[in-house]
Structure 1
Amino acid sequence: MRRPSALLTLFAALLLLVLAPPATAAGTPSAAFAKTSTWEAGYQGSYTVTNGGSTSLSSWSVEFDLPSGSTVGSYWDALLTQSGNHYTFKNREYNGSLAPGASASFGWVSNGTGTPTGCKLNGGPCTGGSGTDTTPPSAPSAVTVGSATGSSLTVRWSASTDDSGFVAGYEISRDGGTPATVTGTSYTATGLQSGTSYSFRVRARDAAGNVSAYSTAVSGTTTTGGGQQPSGGLSTAPYIDMGAWPTPSMPDMASASGLKNYTMAFITASACKAMWFNAYDPRDGWAKDQIDAIRAGGGDVKISFGGASGIELAQACGSVDALYAEYNAVVTAYDLKYADFDIEGAASADPTSVARRSQALARLQQAHPDLKISLTLPVLPEGLTSDGLNVVTSARDAGVDLDVVNVMAMDYYRSVDYGDAAVQAAQSTFAQLKSLYPGKTDAQVWAMVGVTPMLGQNDDGHIYDQADARQLVSFAQGKHLGELAFWEATRDRNACTGALYQCTNIPQSPYEFAKIFAAYTG
């Protein structure tokens, strides 16, 4: 759970999507542009060079212009030269030779939203010919409607493909009306009437303006009870280190503290296999008796993957299929309604595993439509770090319906009041999420914000005390935050002075923080 003290760089590396070779003119190479991820002020772009000819290519060079206000930032898998707004990317020593039918990709981060124009591949047109694109994308598939509230429904679908390699966006028509447009593979319709059925169809559009056929219509019904967020979430679910010795008893702690819900930490990777802190196989139902007891008492648990120690599964598994299988095994073994992904350190700055995780989570949610997914990320008083924002953006663009973005309000390594800083971090995160989810109301965005401070002495020596906890609970009650948690329940139980993994190192009675946080009910 503890977060590093320094901000990570904007992007350590970025995802390469290896696209299926686009359709090309016979016997000619081509270069297809794609936006692999987008955000308000830029995007991740890539070109896939495909050798459609009958002889091998020994090298390639792709050049294009960007409009004023857009520039190339970091880039990968190519060598770059620039003259004004003209950019030329040439192959590296390891990806220049392409046999017939083979392809290679390179990519970059765009500062600005402008897309390439005037593309040339080895001096010729990037399209592999001079014809006009008249082929529409494939129709979206696997369209579902879920995540119902009294005033909203979320539509999800599987991505379409296009002969250019680039699907520019999707149009979603509700009840046959004028379509809304998005770039990702999910859309939340808001402002709906409670207890009402709505029908949705989705179609894809490519960069040339060609549109696919609409998908088959699917329907969903909003819940009764008006426009509030759905009830039943884990409004307070502190982390409990299940790797502590002796193994903590959640039922005993719930009975003593007044809390009903916990976030169990952490499932990590042993190679590409889910394991409880590299010791117990969740497929065997380790600690399920405790989970059953918590549920019998009217509470529930959230299982958290990742953490500051060990390897998160998305880093260990080499494919989306393998990663999904591990996540799905845990969800199935414990019949989970809630899953948390604590992404810290190098894992938050690794674009390949970030994208792999996002795609696996989208598939997981399709298999378990009622599964609520939270991301737990490092934060500063000014908001999520750039890496954390990228994790959220990647999940959004992959079609993941995030329940909560939980920020670790701790270890700032600054001389600030940690109670005030936690509230400021929540406010800053709200503003960031509002920008990422412009279609949501303020109430819906506040319901996505979770806050997790570290009790007592933080790793940096600063203190988060009982007054700070009461301040956060009061703030959460005023804004109706999605979740409050803290690190960590056994430290609160022990109420001791000593090693930080066991003690809070401030004067307190056992479970004092739990009893403060228990006052928050959403």
Structure 2
Amino acid sequence: MKSRTRFHSYGRRKSLNDSASRSMAKDHALHRDQTTLAAFDQLEQRLAFAVGYATVNDWGSGLQADLTLTNDTKSTLTDWQLSFNYSRSIDSIWNAQIVSRTGSQYVIKGLDWNRTLAVGAVQGVGFTAGAGTGAPSNFVLTATGATTTPTVPTVPTTTPTTPGVDLWKEQFFAPYVDMGQYPVPDLDGLAKKYGVGLLTLGFMQASPSGKLAWAGYDVLTLDSSNEQAVAIRNEINALRLVGGDVMVSLGGAAGQSLAQSYAQRGLAAPALAMAYSEMVDTLKLNKVDFDIEGVAVAQPQILKLQMDAIAIVQMSRPSLGVWLTLPVLPQGLTQDGVNAVRIALTSGVKVDGVNVMAMDYGDSAAP
């Protein structure tokens, strides 16, 4: 597990040996235990299937919205289908597919990788729709394993809700975990072992087919039904269930970033923004990290494409925190790193902070 500490300034690097870090880790552990007890209490009391609805962005002639499905029953639900009434015409949908539409009634179902919802599982479904009024209503769930077909209450909100939003303070400790490893890292186990509630998961890269994927493997894309890909999603859910949360890092020292892949194919910032947005919504992220190093940090045109796309994502998700991880010398950021920050700011990206790569590789690697 790599350990980089994130700061808003170029201060000294913390470790778990620092008293402040030990105190922070203890607070995370205490919060996790309290959250676990609360989660089990709620599970016993609620025993229902809940659906949350949130408008992400409304541009007048249409909108983007999220549905959040939570299995608070006592049973695993397989081959779930959700019907509801909605006056708008749904143009596109992700993390689910439309089975039918009759008048204003829609029926949607899960994909191969998310058709089964374990007890306590949370699944997001996003969509865009045309002009109209009102929110979805009259939700009804059917699934193998459900003892009844409950009517599901709508929980309208003005902004999408994501788990763990209150955990990310002004200063935090979120060590890196390589999710390209096999077997898949035990995130809950790592959190308990090291006393941390927040983890940075790396690295999302461009796959050969041009999609975002863990370690750039086509079998580990966001919508993959591969056993390892499913296990990664389950690990993230398990960590959140006990009160933790994750940040996802895109890029890294090896592989190709999605921005580089899109630039090679002549794709523009809106297309790249759509791919980033799908990742944020699918994984329900509060924070994202862009690890820009090696050749990537010295490619200003590709950096401009990347930052323009990030700015577009933040326009519809203003609460999304963006971090830049950049190489550093003893005297500060490299000139390429400074340029990367400048491009981000001039593109309109709201940068939460810069994570400097203050790692000690020994005297032989010193500049």
TM-score by length of 1: 0.35
Which structure has more relative contact order (CA 8 Å, sep 6+)? It is 2
Flag the structure with higher helix content: 2
